[in-house]
Structure 1
Amino acid sequence: MKLAFAILILCSAFLQTNPDAGKILEKVDYNMTSDTQIVESDMVIHGRRNSRTVTSKGYSKGNDQSFTEYLAPDREKGTKMLRMDDRLWIYSPATDRTIQLSGHMLKQSVMGSDLSYEDMMDDRKLIEMYDAKVIDEEEVEGRSAWVLDLVAKVDDATYEQQKLWIDQERFVPLKEEMYAKSGQLLKRVTLSNVERIGDRWFPKKMNYKDVLKDGEGTDFIVKSIQINPEIPDYIFSKASLKK
């Protein structure tokens, strides 16, 4: 009886120290994604000499429809972006023209930030794109975190490999690293200001750093977020670009 109890304790300890990476990703996906979202945000782009802030309101539905309208500054006000599946259209009020971006153009920087159009478009769940395994445990800003190694299992993932530090209590990423197929580190993301929203935890500040560029990166700051609101279908149409 004592032996059986000791084996049970050892198995329990093993499961706690070697958690299921797939189940961790499922909980992360629940926190970070939803059927629909409406987000008001500031994107603070830190340049070599100064910083500038771009304010926007974004709508998303599923992982293949999104619409963003830029509200400030005046130079960017009225610019709109529409994504439908793997297609992206951008409307510029200065020229009253709509252009479609595709292919290598999606790797370009969004308004001089450390985010590419690909970064903004890829809203799919991690569990659908990556095979994962827990490789370590570390402390990040005083929080215990599992370190996960992710390898793409789909051909069209923006990054072939990722490394995530996942808060063990709240199941949100605290740090991310994105790698090319060659193994070269491309970007780092630091996530903070984690808040409870209903039954989810969500980081309301994310610093994106393109390691191939100088500077302090780009802060994406969530000012407000609505989880699973009703969004009219007309929002996700080309007609909405010029309204």
Structure 2
Amino acid sequence: MKVAVAIFFIFSSLISFAQEASEIVRKADEKMRGSTMRTEMVIRVFRPAWSREMQCKIWMKGNDQAMILITSPAKDKGIVFLKRKKEVWNWMPVLERTIKLPPSMMSQSWMGTDFTNDDLIKESSVVEDYNHTIIGDTVIRNRSCYIILMIPKPTAAIIWSKVIVCIDKEDFLELHSRFYDDDGRLINTMNSYDIKMMHDRIIPTRFEMIPADKKGQKTEMIYKSVLYNKPIDDGFFSTEKMKTLN
């Protein structure tokens, strides 16, 4: 009887820790997204021999709808990405053609950066598609953080075998993330900087993605402006709207 009771309490504790970890990830995700989000950002790509910059506008509604418009440079201006639930489209104004992206494209580089299509378009959900476990604590830039292990659920189409994230305990800011492939190798590391008040909340405003095996290479994503929780009609997220954005 005592053994059974002990097993029950151990099992209950494991469930409690898993629920706590999932709640921390959910709060961090909601902190960055809100119910809706409109943002303008600069993306800078750094390579050993060159660098380039692009600017874009992003609209998001919940976890299921997103639109990204490239506004510069001139050669990329007007390119649009649309996500609705698990489906993703790309509008190419030069070709006057809308292309539906297959799931296999989610692991590919987004616009030649070190972010994947999934990083920007968020086909997968860090809340719904992973199991979460708190595995420790750390301090990042004077902020006490949870270390959380995220393992994809068996039914989720995830490009990573695991992700380790460090989330600030006070403001639920994701400050550091490491992404691993199916062989357990570190592929990318993301760090977050420049914590500021943007609209109605404190968030990191500069994100740096660094590939593990490509020396001198990284991509920065910098928020210029953010507007949270302003209504966006569902009809905005349509393949027809992609062709008229500005």
Bin for the TM-score computed over the shorter chain:
0.7 to 0.9
Report what 1:165 is aligned to.
166
Please list the CA deviations of residues 157-206 of structure 1 after superposition, one character each: whole Å capped at 9, or x if unmatched. Answer: 34231111111222111100011233121211001112234664311110
SS at match of 1:56: strand
* Contiguous gaps of at least 5 residues in structure 1: 1-17
- Supply the RMSD in Å over aligned alpha carbons: 2.2
User: Given the alignment of the two structures, is residue 83 of structure 1 paired with residue 83 of structure 2, yes or no?
Assistant: yes
SS at match of 1:126: coil
- TM-score, length of structure 2 as denominator length: 0.83
Q: 1:52 to 1:130 in 2, by over 3 A?
A: same
* Contiguous gaps of at least 5 residues in structure 2: 1-16
Q: 1:73 to 1:208 in 2, by over 3 A?
A: same
Q: 1:194 to 1:105 in 2, by over 3 A?
A: same
Give, in whole Å, the separation in 2 of the partners of 1:223 and 1:92.
25
Report what 2:135 is aligned to.
135
Query: How many residue pairs were aligned?
Result: 226
Report what 2:148 is aligned to.
148
Report what 1:13 is aligned to.
none
- TM-score, length of structure 1 as denominator length: 0.84
Report what 1:103 is aligned to.
103
Q: 1:99 to 1:126 in 2, by over 3 A?
A: closer
Report what 2:14 is aligned to.
none
Q: 1:96 to 1:126 in 2, by over 3 A?
A: closer
Report what 1:221 is aligned to.
222
- Counting aligned pairs with the same residue, the percent is 27
Question: Is the Cα contact below 8 Å between 1:122 and 1:158 reproduced in 2?
Answer: no
Question: Is the Cα contact below 8 Å between 2:107 and 2:159 reproduced in 1?
Answer: no
Give, in whole Å, the separation in 2 of the partners of 1:50 and 1:213.
14
Question: Is the Cα contact below 8 Å between 2:118 and 2:124 reproduced in 1?
Answer: no
Return the letter of the residue paired with 1:118: D
Question: Is the Cα contact below 8 Å between 1:171 and 1:201 reproduced in 2?
Answer: no
Q: 1:197 to 1:216 in 2, by over 3 A?
A: same
Please list the CA deviations of residues 194-225 of structure 1 after superposition, one character each: whole Å capped at 9, or x if unmatched. Answer: 22346643111101123243433110101111
